[in-house]
Amino acid sequence: MERKYSHVIVIGVDGAGSWFKDADTPHFDSIFENGAVTYKALSSKPTISAECWGSMLTGVGPEVHGLTNEIVSTVPYDVNSRFPSLFRRIREAYPDAVLGSYCDWNPITYGIVENNIGVSHATAKDTELTPIVCDYIRENKPDFLFVHFDSVDGAGHGSGYGSPTFLDRLHEVDELIGDVYSAVEDAGMLDETLFAVISDHGGANDENGRGSHGGWTDEEKYVTFAAAGRGVNKTEIVEMNIRDLASIVLYAMGINPPGFDETGWTSQIPDGLFADYEGDYRDISHLTGAAPRISKIHHTSELV
């Protein structure tokens, strides 16, 4: 398959849910003005970080990859897993590819990305991490870069999801997203880059205004995804699961994904995302626990 982009950059904003549509995010709005956007991408169940980022980076559901917060924090990702990360799939297709995983929450790099395949990485709080990421982009022009910001989720836990403090922090992270996008421009990469932003889950608040997640309310399960780049349609994506990020990245890199398998790879490319792609998007709600797609009483599965 033909490679569509020289570079793919994905920014993950932990806990942002669908609140990009409610916050003051001028950089996000400008970057994706002519891109593909949805605020209804369906998270993984349970709506917990490891289960969700694991689905995005492996293309399989939590019931298949088996990752939890405890596991990814303490166990390196199996370099021989039958469900390799995007990084390993790209490395096998392009041995000289420049790959980076720069995460505030280091268990992503430690427990979801193989540690023996030459992936550059760094860990720091969002604000300190961003200049490191920007320098890395300008100096190395990565083929694939994954960036993870965690402070929005922290604001949700501490002050409530959707609260003024939460929305203010999302506005500040929007500034960081703008900085990363500017670094892509500075590096002369923009015309050859697929640039995407995605969240893993949202959150729900208790009677005291403190937030948590892990359940299946609309506030927890619906999240933001946006993509921009040549060949991306200006559209509102109707149907998407967050695990579809894996297929989107592989398609952009010109790598054939594994065959669809309900006991394995269930990542797909959403209809209408790419101008040159036509597919038949399958309903996997019976696999995700999302059938029917309505709210349920939330519970907290993630330690705060």
pLDDT for res 202: 97
Q: What is the pLDDT of residues 66-94, one digit of tens each?
A: 999 999 999 999 999 999 999 999 999 99
Question: Which residues face 222 on adjacent strands?
Answer: 42
In which residue ranges of the chain is pLDDT below 50? 291-304
Give buried/exposed letters for 253-271 (b at 16+ CB in 10 A, else e).
bebebbeeeeebbbbbbbb
Domains of the chain: 7-288 (3.40.720.10)
pLDDT for res 289: 67
pLDDT for res 1: 85
Q: What is the C-alpha separation between 253 and 211, in angstroms, rounded?
A: 37
Cβ 269 vs Cβ 277: under 8 Å: yes
Cβ 233 vs Cβ 259: under 8 Å: no
pLDDT for res 286: 82
Question: Which residues face 189 on adjacent strands?
Answer: none
